[in-house]
Amino acid sequence: MSRKGFIIGLAALILTVNIGIASGNDLTPLEQLGKNLFFDANLSTPPGQSCAACHAPEAGFTGPDSNINATQAIYPGAVHTRAGNRKPPTAAYGGESPVMYYDAGESLWIGGMFWDGRATGWTLGDPLAEQALGPFLNPLEQNLPQARLVLIRVAHSDYADLFEEVWGPGSLDFKKDVAGTYERIGRSISAYEKSAEVNPFSSKFDLFWDNVGDEATVKAINMSNWEDYKGLGLEDNEVLGLALFNDETKGKCSLCHVLDSSSSGYPVFTDFTYDNLGIPKNPMNPFYSMPKKWNPDGLDWIDPGLGGFLANLDESFFISLSLDKTINVNENYGKHKVPTLRNVDKRPYPGFVKSYGHNGYFKSLEEITHFYNTRDVEVWPVPEVSENVNTDELGNLGLTLEEEAAIVAFMKSLTDGYTPPLP
């Protein structure tokens, strides 16, 4: 899609945000069906909560409530006295995440969806489709008691005909083929979340990427050559931020938020691995006060991250990979998925607060960048999980405040919907 197309597409998205399931811009029928499902607030008990309630386009497909982001960061479910335990990650730019696998050479788990990777893709071959099906049946989120009820609600929706147009006559069967029909819902939402409407690659950085015209060159921009790339679409301070972002002796950001081009031709700024950054507990996390049915540990609850998911797998699975289950679970305790940085600063208005980290502890890009820089040399609250904290790539980077600001400026250039100034 051309850059003009990106801008037109963004304008169309803005026009349809408030009406949710209105016709999309250049969406395929499958993508449009996925969009209808994504914005359908009737797919919860009680009705009123859609996927977009926690993944809104105007906030970069993350949480759209500034007050919640500024405080607890974790969103209430359809039953508003209930809440999960992690902040909503972006629903955009996730389609490149591979089916989860273990890289024995690097001793790393890669791929999957959710902060803890539990939507592995092992069942459907598509982590994004598996992730899309989770919240509907989660009592702390959309709270539908069974998949069949999701299907019945869809069958009585105003887009039921589109469902059968896309998947064929009889495909919306909530009596004899609950599993197959539910899977088609997940695959439809996945198609929308992979669409150009959700992943337009229309940021100021993308213009710069096009102007430079070579992936290897952009990845090689560092502190010794960054001034050679002024005037190519980024402001000078943003180019400096990119140099610091890339530099393996300074910012070190690109070690995890890689600039490798995706199938789109542009980077999505994640290597899809898992890491423990040493983030403190979020004391305002509402999960601490959830009933014992969901949180038997109360205030003592610790988020195990990837390690918690792995602990629930059968030991034979680890044996098949020549791994010791106990060791592997312990090595991944407290680790969470490296998120994309796309739209990390996208917000509906300037004073809107966004939260950062798997638990939303940080309330600005400036704050989390300073944490990355100074975690081990300034006074911060203790990590929620002290094991497996990454001390190689963050914690004592030695950046000046001006260099931190440059990295933040660069990350802000990753916001979609950029319109170049007229010549």
106-126 per-position pLDDT tens digit: 999 999 999 999 999 999 999
- pLDDT surpasses 60 at 330: yes
pLDDT band at 14 (very low <50, low <70, confident <90, very high): very low
Whether residue 406 has pLDDT greater than 90? yes
pLDDT above 80 for 340 = yes
- Give me the half-sphere count of Cα atoms (radius 13 Å) on the Cβ side of residue 312: 8
Report yes or no on whether pTM surpasses 0.85. yes
Which residues, 6+ apart, have CB-to-CB distance to 309 below 8 Å?
116, 117, 118
Question: What's the CA gap between 15 and 294, in Å, rounded?
Answer: 39
Percent pLDDT > 90 in the chain is 93
Q: Within 10 A of 314 (CB to CB), how many other CB atoms are there?
A: 9
Measured in degrees and rounded to the nearest 5, phi and psi for residue 186 equal: -60, -40
Q: Would the pLDDT of 311 be above 70?
A: yes
- Count CA within 13 A, CB hemisphere, residue 6: 17
What pLDDT is recorded for position 213? 95
Short-list 193, 197, 199, CA closest to 27: 197
The pLDDT of residue 423: 78
Return the structure tokens found at 399. 């950046």
CA-to-CA distance for 39 and 293, rounded, in angstroms?
29
Tokens found for residue 249: 């002796």
Q: What is the pLDDT of residue 268?
A: 98
